[in-house]
Amino acid sequence: MKSVRIGAGQGFWGDSPFPAIDVVKSGNIKYLACDALAELTLAILQKSRQKDPTKGYVEDMFFSLLLKPCREMGVRILTNAGGINPEGAGRMVYELARKMGLKGLKIAVITGDDILPRLGELREMGINLSDMENGGDISSIEDRILFANAYLGAKPMVEALEKGADVIITGRTADPAMFLAPLVHELGWGWDDWNRLAAGILLGHLMECSAQSTGGNFSGDWWNIPKMERIGYPVAEVYESGEAVLSKPEGTGGRVDLETVKEQMLYEVHDPSAYITPDVVADFASARLEQVGPDRVSITGMKGKPRPDNLKVSIGYSDGWLGEAALRYSWPDAMKKARKAEEILKKQFKVMGLSFEEILTEYIGYNSLCGTTAYGDGEDLNEVGLRIAVRTRNKADAAKVPRLLPPLALNGPPNASGAGGMPRPRELIGLWSVLVNRAEVEKQVQINIMEVE
């Protein structure tokens, strides 16, 4: 039976590129798919494009480290590193490849996910742009919108592969679609072969967060995961039938077993029987997982349902500022000291005429990560950090918060020590999701291929 091997190269912007090199060199793969865009990454990239119109894509060492080994091993790359400016990313990769002497390398740039310029037009057409999550009216945010991008499916990437692209750069694309595209291309799956498309999507979902299916961020016996310092990113052998075996490169660390794979299977999933993507609605509840060897898990039995008529569009908007600061206190009575400092700060906010939309207090060492589920009252802790965070429309007000903390070391409760310096105010980004008829998005999708000379 025909089969193809694919590998994962990146789980987010900032992920380690070294396991990706292991995947390329010893994963015996033909395709490497890399996910660089989390939900909010486009907001960061939008800021960088505002400062410099040639930017707005993911700039990291990824391409400079991987382009050459991929070319040498005949591995084709798919990535959404194009962010908010895929053309800019394409030019950057072209220049890099030219300098490396990678003559003949074909770079495809896919655009069309950006629908920000068309929001007004879509609204006039009667498309409902209210937020899917809270039903809010778009007019409440329209003067603060930073980006509006549709999630594209695998089709344009498959077309680029058919045209011989060695590197495919997209903007917003459904993450698992980057793994589905080479499978459709190599194994000849039809666009209405819902079960196989769903199998590709589940596999993509298992691989898109790099080591999260090979032992990273594993909540079971994580202390037994071998060689985490050189963890292996996932690779998969996928058969024409849609059946697949998930594993990792020989000699790498990590663990691929039912426990590690299952944790990733439900990661960021809502209804497991209806995982909606642009290409298919995948039914994860139909999959069968089986350990078929050391670090090898097979995935069979996947079922899918027809693709949706609409594409999800993610809109990001500016939504005020976060000001924060932290201070630590030692035993004895660490918690009492932290609470006293909090009381002083809140009184000082009043005196200064600062009124915030929200003030959040966390006690580091007690409830900063576990919140309401903390045990006990924290009164006998060795040390406690006070973190205070505020929400405001006014950036200058947000900046005033950290400045109030250092004086407390001398003017407040005893045994204080700084924690994290003076963080600058951080802009808060709201996310707004809408559904747009796919034809409206797909008609503007373009594929541009450049060949390195």
Partner 1 sequence: MPKMLLKELAHARSGDKGNTVNIGLFPYNEKDYQLLKEQVTPQRVKQHFGEMVQGEVIRYEVPNINAFNFVLRGALNGGASRSLRSDNLGKCFGANLLRMYVETGN
List interacting residues with partner 1 (CB under 8 A).
Answer: 39-40, 43, 133-134, 217-220, 258-259, 262-273, 284-289, 316, 319, 322, 324, 358, 360, 362, 364, 368-373, 375, 387, 389-391, 428-431, 433
* Residue 131 Cα distances to 53, 335, 423, 433, 434, angstroms: 29, 41, 32, 5, 6
Question: Shortest distance, CB of residue 289 to partner 1, whole angstroms?
Answer: 6
Report d(CA 235, CA 23) in Å as an integer: 7
Cα 61–chain centre separation:
18
Report d(CA 204, CA 31) in Å as an integer: 12
Question: Shortest distance, CB of residue 163 to partner 1, whole angstroms?
Answer: 34
Considering beta carbons, is residue 21 or 44 the nearer one to partner 1?
44
Report d(CA 141, CA 305) in Å as an integer: 35
Question: Shortest distance, CB of residue 107 to partner 1, whole angstroms?
Answer: 31
**Dihedral class, residue 309 (left if φ above 0, else alpha if ψ from -120 to 50, else beta):** alpha
Considering beta carbons, is residue 196 or 387 the nearer one to partner 1?
387
Question: Shortest distance, CB of residue 215 to partner 1, whole angstroms?
Answer: 12
User: CB under 8 Å to 346, separation ≥6 — which residues?
Assistant: 359
- Cβ neighbours of 400 (radius 10 Å): 18
Question: Shortest distance, CB of residue 84 to partner 1, whole angstroms?
Answer: 15
Question: Shortest distance, CB of residue 141 to partner 1, whole angstroms?
Answer: 12
What count of residues does the chain have? 453
315 HSE (CA, 13 A, CB side):
27
* Residue 435 φ then ψ, to 5°: -110, 135
Report d(CA 223, CA 440) in Å as an integer: 49
Question: Shortest distance, CB of residue 263 to partner 1, whole angstroms?
Answer: 4
Considering beta carbons, is residue 39 or 380 the nearer one to partner 1?
39
In the chain, what are the helix, strand and coil shares in percent, each to the nearest 5? Answer: 35, 25, 40
Question: Shortest distance, CB of residue 122 to partner 1, whole angstroms?
Answer: 21
Considering beta carbons, is residue 341 or 401 the nearer one to partner 1?
401
Considering beta carbons, is residue 288 or 350 the nearer one to partner 1?
288
Considering beta carbons, is residue 12 or 191 the nearer one to partner 1?
12
Q: Classify each residue of 135-173 as buried b or exposed e, where b means 16 or more C-beta atoms within 10 Å of its C-beta.
A: eeebeebeeebbbbbbbbbbbbbbbbbeeebbbbbbbbb
Question: Shortest distance, CB of residue 283 to partner 1, whole angstroms?
Answer: 10
Report d(CA 259, CA 271) in Å as an integer: 20
Considering beta carbons, is residue 272 or 412 the nearer one to partner 1?
272
Residue with tokens 């058919």: 162
Considering beta carbons, is residue 209 or 447 the nearer one to partner 1?
209
Check if the beta carbon of residue 326 is closer than 8 Å to that of residue 401: no
| 248, two tokens | 């990792």
What DSSP state is assigned to residue 251? Answer: T
Question: Shortest distance, CB of residue 412 to partner 1, whole angstroms?
Answer: 22
Question: Shortest distance, CB of residue 287 to partner 1, whole angstroms?
Answer: 6
- Cα four-point dihedral sign 270, 303, 75, 444: negative
- Cβ neighbours of 61 (radius 10 Å): 8
